[in-house]
Amino acid sequence: MRAPRLPALPALLWLALAPLPGPAARAELRVRVRLPGGQVTEESLQADSGSDCISLELRKADGALITLTADFRQEVKIFRALILGELERGQSQFQALCFVTRLHRNEIIPSESMAKLRQKNPRTVRQAEEVRGLEHLSMDVAVNFSKGAQLSSHIHNVCAEAKEAIYTREEDVKFWLEKGMDGSMFEVLPQTSDLPDLQRCKLCADRWKPCICSYSLSIEWYPCMLKYCKSRDAAGKVSSYKCGIRSCQKGYTFDFYVPQKQLCLWDEET
């Protein structure tokens, strides 16, 4: 019987018939993507089917390095931002932030699928086929770094530079507590309802006062869904097979408490 003919896929080839090299595989893919201002940057995607995780990294136009780690085994998603500091204003060379949220099904393709991706035209600048809505998250709980491995073993490495700045949401904490996680790793942060004088950092004139900071990032290109094609055998029976991926772009804005505005100088009135 003649093998089904794969359709032409301009962005990436899905090698559906190529078996993984062994019971688990690691793979890395580098793609060129266009940022909102028109600048082209390189995005690195890594998949480890053994630990069932995916890591994606890209540099924003302002120089910040953004990393997204998806831990499928623990249903945890970790965003890390390494933000260049303003040395002339008393900041360190860079500032690290970690945002930890629940990973839902079908947000991103599985790690074993990512490990099979191969690029057809490495020099092509990729653009997402689908723009998913902006997600605005209130990160009202701090995560204890020394206990964070219970939540995901990747926190120890990914958030090592952000030990005092790991944030999550109360609604995600409730989900993890129901799964049996130790509640002592979480600490509820002050909110405007607790401190009436607590302002948003961009409205706060005093750099040494606590405030609610806001940080935005965007994952410009990532494989969010699998594509399926249909084939018909000699007997006329129709079957489907994986033949490609659908790419998405998604933006996030995180609001979180900081003990002083000095830790949130990017969030200022313009």
Structural domain contains residue 227: yes
Which DSSP state fits 8?
A: P
- What is the C-alpha separation between 168 and 172, in angstroms, rounded? 7
Structural domain contains residue 11: no
Structural domain contains residue 203: yes
Cβ contacts of 171 within 8 Å, gap of 6 or more? none
Q: Consecutive sets of 10 residues in the chain, 270 residues long: mean pLDDT of each?
A: 38 39 72 88 92 94 94 96 80 88 92 85 89 95 96 96 96 95 94 83 92 95 87 78 86 96 79
Number of domains composing the chain: 1
What is the reported pTM?
Answer: 0.86
pLDDT value, residue 172: 97
Structural domain contains residue 71: yes
Structural domain contains residue 223: yes
Print the domain residue range for 124: 26-263
Q: Where are the alpha helices (DSSP H) in 143-244?
A: 155-158, 170-178
Structural domain contains residue 6: no
Structural domain contains residue 20: no
